């Protein structure tokens, strides 16, 4: 849906900030508590407790994360879910969110209503209170920026650090071809992340948002490399479809496309890993793949080695570069 008015459609140019805030509160519905715990004060008060507070932020920007082919509901879902995926990677549960909107005067009100109503539904689905944010006018730029808070789902949080030499590397779900629709419809792995954080054999975890080729090095200890088995990578059907259109290999798409929003994690090897695999199969239907292991490396060694049939991929492990 084109978010910008081209004729007589009602748009932001006819709204005051107070009017727009009132509309947004109505559109969000029960997802937005009354002040001081929601929109309406200088800041939102979130009840305190002794557990760690987890914070993350991510935007959706028109022309970068969505375009006119995307519905406002899809854009809203993507905004919240990509933040939820960050919390999932730490084993956290969401609590509250702030959303700021930067929009031009020609933004259509029906587009904005669809966006905020869908955002309210998403917040209710994932038990998130939307407690405030900000509004800013622009000369053509359209973007929404969400900050999400959370708390540990259990007794500990996982981070990207903590992996060890010898650990096995796992990933959930399938990789690649996200522009075929996955980037708009994915389900954040909150339950899986909480389950993994509760297992001491899991040493480190992150979410795959910029592609395995870019994200995997962040999981590795110093002086180590990841040796990945190409045949073990869970290449999505969408990656094969995209490869048939652009002549890049399915493996290239799986490693470099990004916006997979799957969990990538390191596990103690041997019996502990086998017990995890067995317990996972009983707890989830989500695909789990052991894709490689962490090994010692010299200074000149690449951080990732792809073993097996690679289609010449080793020279192009780049993932998604936001500014490239």
Distance, in Å, from the CA atom of 166 to the CA atom of 65, rounded to the nearest integer, reads 37
Strands 168-172 and 54-61, by their bridges, are unpaired
H or E element in which residue 267 lies: strand 262-267
Residue 90 CB neighbour total at 10 angstroms:
23
Give the containing element (helix H, strand E) for 293. strand 288-296
Q: What is the pLDDT of residue 194?
A: 97
Non-local (6+) Cβ contacts of 123 within 8 A are 28, 31, 80, 97, 129, 130
d(CA 2, CA 18): 25
Query: Tokens 């709204």 belong to which residue?
Result: 15
- Greatest pairwise CA separation for the chain in angstroms: 66
Q: How distant is the alpha carbon of residue 125 from its chain centre?
A: 17
Q: Are 266 and 146 in contact (CB under 8 A)?
A: no
Q: Where in the chain is the domain with CATH 3.90.650.10?
A: 168-316
Average pLDDT by consecutive 10-residue portion of the chain (324 residues)? 88 84 91 81 64 90 96 98 96 96 97 98 97 95 97 91 96 96 97 97 95 93 95 96 91 94 97 97 98 95 86 63 54
CA 275 to chain centre: 28
Q: Which of 120, 116, 110 is nearest to 1 (CA)?
A: 110
Helix-, strand-, coil-residue percentages of the chain, each rounded to 5: 35, 25, 40
Task: Give Cβ neighbours of residue 101 (< 8 Å, ≥ 6 apart).
Answer: 112, 133, 134, 135, 136, 143, 144, 145
How far is the C-alpha of 206 from the C-alpha of 266, rounded, in Å?
A: 10
State the Rg of the chain over Cα.
21
Other Cβ atoms less than 10 A from the Cβ of 287: the count is: 12
Q: Tell me whether strands 304-307 and 202-208 are parallel, antiparallel or unpaired.
A: unpaired
Q: What is the pLDDT of residue 323?
A: 43
CATH of domain 12-152: 3.30.1330.10
- Ranges in the chain annotated CATH 3.30.1330.10: 12-152
Fold of 168-316: Phosphoribosyl-aminoimidazole Synthetase; Chain A, domain 2 (3.90.650)
3-class DSSP state for residue 245?
Answer: helix
């Amino acid at each position: 849906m084109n978010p910008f008015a081209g004729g007589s459609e009602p748009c932001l140019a006819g709204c005051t900030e107070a009017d727009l805030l009132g509309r947004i509160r109505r559109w969000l519905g029960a997802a937005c508590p009354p002040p001081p715990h929601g929109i309406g004060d200088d800041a939102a008060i979130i009840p305190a407790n002794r557990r760690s507070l987890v914070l993350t932020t991510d935007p959706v920007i028109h022309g970068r994360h969505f375009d006119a082919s995307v519905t406002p509901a899809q854009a809203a879902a993507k905004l919240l879910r990509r933040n939820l995926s960050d919390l999932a990677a730490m084993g956290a549960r969401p609590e509250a969110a702030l959303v700021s909107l930067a929009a031009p005067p020609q933004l259509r009100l029906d587009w904005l209503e669809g966006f905020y109503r869908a955002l309210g539904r998403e917040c209710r689905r994932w038990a998130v209170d939307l407690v405030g944010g900000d509004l800013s006018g622009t000369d053509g730029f359209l973007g929404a920026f969400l900050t999400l808070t959370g708390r540990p789902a259990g007794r500990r949080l996982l981070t990207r650090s903590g992996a060890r030499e010898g650990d096995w590397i796992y990933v959930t779900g399938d990789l690649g071809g996200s522009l075929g629709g996955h980037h708009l419809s994915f389900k954040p792995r909150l339950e899986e992340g909480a389950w993994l954080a509760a297992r001491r054999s899991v040493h480190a975890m992150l979410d795959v948002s910029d592609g395995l080729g870019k994200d995997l090095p962040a999981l590795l200890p110093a002086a180590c490399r990841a040796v990945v088995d190409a045949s073990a990578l869970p290449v999505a059907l969408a990656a094969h479809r995209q490869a048939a259109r652009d002549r890049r290999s399915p493996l290239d798409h799986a490693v470099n496309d990004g916006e997979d929003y799957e969990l990538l994690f390191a596990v103690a090897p041997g019996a502990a890993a086998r017990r995890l695999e067995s317990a996972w199969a009983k707890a989830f239907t989500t695909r789990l793949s052991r894709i490689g292991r962490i090994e010692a490396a010299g200074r000149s060694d690449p951080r990732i080695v792809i073993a097996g049939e690679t289609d010449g991929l080793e020279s192009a492990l780049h993932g998604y570069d936001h500014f490239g």
